[in-house]
Amino acid sequence: MVDFKKLNGRPKLEKGRRSKFINVRFTDDEYKEIADLERQLGISKTELIRMRVLTDVKETVINAKELIKHLDALGAEMGRIGNNINQLARHANVLKLKGALNAMIVEKFNRLFGDYIQVQQMLEASLRKIIRTMGN
């Protein structure tokens, strides 16, 4: 005959069992801030507090809505910069066809464009860091 064992839920953890309790009090404003973070990030208050207190610097809680808002503004600004560069290049081509293009203007444009490329590369590196951080 088969001996059926009575199952009492999930098996007990041997390691990593959270048995200690810390009672913390917050002001109404602090609690509201924690509740807002819970809603925005989609994690429980307990997990949020545990992450903020126990994790090392590598693990950072990111407010996705705020990040997207800033990235959107950054993208719009980069688009405006690109339009300005295209207008300057077009104007330079018109001046070149007329024979009125000054070599000093070309040199200054090239220097500024080089600076722009360096800033864009730093921005790309920063975005890659943000994406890697979010992936962890």
Read off the pLDDT of each residue in 75-85 and give the average, rounded to a whole number. 88
What CA–CA distance (Å, rounded) separates 59 from 96? 53
Answer for the pair 135, 59: CB distance below 8 angstroms, yes or no: no
Tokens of 4: 């059926």
pLDDT confidence band for 57 (50 / 70 / 90): very low
- 19-23, 42-46, 91-95, 132-136: the lowest-pLDDT one: 132-136
pTM above 0.85, yes or no: no
Report residue 45: phi and psi, to 5°. Answer: -60, -45
Q: 51 in helix, strand or coil?
A: helix
Whole-angstrom Cα distance, residue 17 to residue 15?
6
pLDDT digits (tens, 9 = 90+) for 10-31: 777 777 777 788 888 999 999 9
**Average pLDDT across the chain, whole number:** 82
